[in-house]
Amino acid sequence: MTQLILRLRNILQLRFTDVFAGMTPAALNTISPANPLKRLARVLGYTGLRLVGNMFRPIKNPENLHGAVWLYVVSANNYEALQFVQQTRPDAVLLAGQAKNIGRYGKVVNRLSLRRKLLYYWQYPLVLTGLLLSEGRRAWRFFDLIYYAIGYYEVYRRALRHYRPRAVIFSNDHNDDTRALLLACRAEGVPTAYVQHASVSSSFPPLGFDLSLLEGQDALDKYRLCGPVAGRVELVGMPKADTYLAQRNTAPAVRRVGLACNIHDPLPAITATLLFLNQEFPDLIFTLRPHPSDTRDFGPLRQQLPTLRWSNAREENVFDFLHQQDALVAADTSTHLEATLLNVASVYFRFADNPLTRDYYGYVAHGLIDAAADLPALAAWLRHYQQAKPLDLYRRAAYYNATLGTPDEGRSQALAARLLAGWLAVPASR
């Protein structure tokens, strides 16, 4: 029983960190409501729609999963990060959990059945009791997240035994279903690899794959802070950026400004910032890009600022969005790195402060981007880049992208594909 509780604690590692508990109330409520009755209502909804509902939804995968290289994804970003592997390997298949939301790619990924997940919920009282003893009040605060995580490990072990994939390649290392599959792979002796898809945090779980392809030294340094680094690690740059690096922004001054926001950024503060900027810079073009998971009502903002442009993150790739900007204003988002790689001037601006996540990715501390502490400072930064924007801002990203300035710049996909091919071809090395 101790092993069961420790395994669920491992799967839910990120949920019990100070950073997760310290998220803004609005952001945390979208994941786990503060009101316990609302949490209970979500648990009941999950039981009916997912656990019971999955039993009545047959799965007909378009591809054969037996003996294949699995590319396991939990979001549209994951899909885009691993798509190049599928394109270079005929034995690779993209797949996700049965009802996982993969955005615009939801209908084209294969699915792993979760019908049997319901059979393992006898574990829940035992796991909740054990985690209440070890984690205290946080286990009660997140009893819904603990509930969702039950059964993934057992169902995925069964799937691995049935399909016997050649290997599983991940692009996420901290979601509950992802971690459950990773632990299941270890138990079943299935090799695992990891392709980084976005900037990482020192709050993530320790790196535990047989092969990890990281973007740069920043990621490796942060994972070393997370704990012991297992397996082989290679620095390969950012594969998803390959086709865009040759199209860097060469505008001599800033005329178009993008703002990226997510649920951590309070809507009133976003509105106040845009109203201020619109008044201060009537000659600049502003575009707002909410995160694809941000479902808040932006209708009032559209009415207040009819000239504001919008980027739909569910339909428009982040690089396509950045190609239309000369500068980026945002708080904690890896879009800063992507912007800098394209030579788009980028500034860290917090719409509202949270000391636990201030400079979450360390971009300001390592000199990747500038910072503006308040609206006057933001205005001063924009005026500076209105006068002139350097053509070599992208060089700041060398610490984050290992191939920058090397013969492999813009060829990270080919480099990663070669490393994966070599690793798959030599099973004895694992």
pLDDT at 358 over 90: no
Helix (H, G, I), strand (E, B) or coil at 256: strand
Complete domains list, the chain, with CATH: 2-238 (3.40.50.11720), 244-399 (3.40.50.2000)
**CA-to-CA separations, 96 to 20, 65, 156, 161, 181, in angstroms, rounded:** 24, 12, 11, 17, 11
Q: Which amino acid is at 423?
A: W
pLDDT at 428: 44
Could you report the per-residue pLDDT of 130-141, keeping only the tens digit for each?
999 999 999 999
Per-residue burial over 412-422, b = 16 or more CB atoms within 10 Å of its CB, e = otherwise: bbebbbebbee
Section 155-180 average pLDDT: 97
The string of pLDDT tens digits covering residues 308-328 is 999 999 889 899 999 999 999
Which segment of 60-74, 277-291, 348-362 scores lowest on mean pLDDT?
Answer: 348-362
For the beta sheet containing 327-330, the strands, ordered from the edge strand earlier in sequence to the opposite edge, are 309-310, 285-290, 256-261, 327-330, 345-348, 370-371
What is the overall mean pLDDT for the chain? 93
The 10s digit of each residue's pLDDT in 17-53 is 988 988 878 788 889 999 999 999 999 999 998 899 9
Alpha-carbon span 200 to 332, nearest angstrom: 12
d(CA 60, CA 367): 49
pLDDT level of residue 429 (50, 70, 90 thresholds)? very low
pLDDT the model gives residue 427: 57
Q: Tell me how far CA of residue 38 lies from CA of 32, 117, 146, 161, 304, in angstroms.
A: 9, 23, 15, 37, 33
Residue 292: pLDDT band (50, 70, 90) is confident
72 Cβ contact partners less than 8 Å away, ≥ 6 residues apart: 78, 95, 96, 168, 169, 170, 171, 178, 181
Residue with the larger pLDDT of the pair 215 and 354: 215
pTM: 0.91
d(CA 168, CA 192): 5
d(CA 284, CA 413): 36
Model pLDDT, residue 1: 66
pLDDT higher than threshold 70 for residue 417: yes
Please tell me the number of Cα atoms within 13 Å of 11 on its side-chain side.
26
Examine the pLDDT at 70 and tell me if it is beyond 50.
yes
Return all residues near 164 (Cβ < 8 A) that are at least 6 apart.
66, 67, 190
Q: Is the pLDDT of residue 151 over 90?
A: yes
The CB-based long-range contact list for 303-308 (8 Å cut-off, 24+ gap) reads 304/271, 304/275, 305/274, 305/275, 305/278, 307/278, 308/274, 308/278
- Length of the chain counted residue by residue: 430
User: Is 50 exceeded by the pLDDT of residue 63?
Assistant: yes
The pLDDT value recorded for residue 110 is 96
Residue 357 has pLDDT above 90, yes or no: no
pLDDT at 236: 97
Residue-wise pLDDT for 210-254, tens only, equals 999 999 999 999 999 999 999 999 999 999 999 999 899 999 999
Alpha helices in 240-394 (DSSP H): 267-280, 299-304, 318-322, 335-341, 375-387
- The pLDDT tens digits of the residues spanning 107-147 come to 899 999 999 999 999 999 999 999 999 999 999 999 999 99
